Amino acid sequence: MSPADLPTYHTIGIGAGPANLSLAALFPTANLGSIALFDQQPGPAWHPALLSPGVRMQTSWMKDLVSLVDPRHPLTFMNYLVTTGRLFALLNAQFDTIPRLEYVRYLTWAANRIHGIHYGATVDRISYTDDGFEIAVGGEPVARSEHVCIGVGTRAVRPAWLDALDPKRAFIADDFGWRVDAMKADLNATVAVVGGGQTGLECVLKLINAGFTDIRWLGRRQWFQTIDDSPVANEFYRPAHGHFLQQLSRSTRRRLVLEQGPTGDALTPGALRVLYQVNYDRMLDLDRFPAVLHPGRDVVAVDEETDGFRLRCATPGGREQHHAQYVIVAVGRENTPVPFDEDLQERVEYDDDGDMFIEPDYSLRWKGMNGHRIYVLNRARYSHGVPDANLTLLPVRAATVINAMAEREVFRLVDEFCPIRWSA
């Protein structure tokens, strides 16, 4: 197909996760033209391997794809509840935060009502010409656009030692969902979960519920830290604080955001409480805890042995070893590479810390843009604050991008009543 014959859009979104779904849901309001999303998943999905009964969201249900900027939008979470007949059942269940499975159903419901989403399409090249952008799937050009919005999300971190181990018995948490049935052949096998974050907690909880009796949860920090969900901590998760950060130098912003880590990069208190209670219930059956927590263990190497694995850990007091038949790795996530071609990659500007230089309106600073912009979602944590990598301000960020594209105030973003006066 010649470039002239390719379908052309105003904007193409790379990825159809919550970030770009929010953008696509709000986009028609601006009357800018058409938008298309391309995603490698075969259909609507959000961390499908990590979904388990009992797992809760970390954010309020009011912080959906659209409500914070347009509460009358047809794709609000409230409208999802009403139109699917679930409203009263959910209200009467009295959840503090909704089940993650419910949120995924909401995303699927919304995605099915957004036109122009192309699933099963892995974008492997983004190129630029003077006429705009061209994207390729499977090496073949499939579409062109004036602007591009990157929302490819993250992938699991894989420690170097993992590649040398038997993948049937040592794997990342993303693979746990389809490995667990085979593991159930020996419920007494020792299972080590490496990583003290929320994903590690959810793996431990799923193992207990599956009937495993010897689980070791190893975390690098000296305790399994819960999120600071206090009213003051939540002040970081509002537009007013983002505006404050934009007035500071990049180095100051980075320092402040690093200090704010415990407000988001930690465990939800409710989930940890559920884990402790389930662990206690099983202890009453076994006369011992099926899951034992091992904080302060930094797993630096894992060796494969005839009967399993030997985990070598650095501890505050020296060294320690653990033996296990299975190792589940949940040590964090990293940004998925953006598939810019070589020419476009060389045009991108980076700051002194190696991060993409992202403007206040989430546009990427790059050479020779000629009016064609690249917007970047989920990559501006150290310039825009801790909410950038989570779901809290999805519609606010999407509205900011749309306002910038339209060069007018399509959405009025107001956050005036703030009880704090910030200082760096």
The string of pLDDT tens digits covering residues 225-256 is 888 888 998 899 899 999 899 999 888 989 99
CB 364 within 8 A of CB 348: yes
CB 341 within 8 A of CB 126: yes
pLDDT > 90: percent of the chain: 66
What mean pLDDT do residues 218-225 have? 92
The answer, as to whether pTM is greater than 0.95, is no
Neighbouring C-alpha atoms within 13 Å toward the C-beta of 67: 13
Position 1 confidence tier, pLDDT thresholds 50, 70, 90: low
Q: What does the alpha-carbon distance between residue 116 and residue 405 come to, in Å, rounded to a whole number?
A: 19
The string of pLDDT tens digits covering residues 28-68 is 999 999 999 999 988 887 666 555 666 777 778 888 999 99
Residue whose entry in the numeric block shows the structure tokens 């589940």: 328
CB 158 within 8 A of CB 329: yes
Residue 383 has pLDDT above 90, yes or no: no
Tokens of 190: 């020792």
Q: Read out DSSP for 84-142?
A: TT-HHHHHHHT-SS-BHHHHHHHHHHHHTTSS-EE-S--EEEEEEETTEEEEEETTEEE
pLDDT at 407: 95
pLDDT averaged over the chain?
Answer: 91
Q: What does the alpha-carbon distance between residue 366 and residue 357 come to, in Å, rounded to a whole number?
A: 8
Helices (H), 167-297: 176-183, 198-210, 231-234, 239-245, 250-259, 269-286
Domains along the sequence of the chain with CATH: 3-153+336-406 (3.50.50.60), 156-226+266-333 (3.50.50.60)
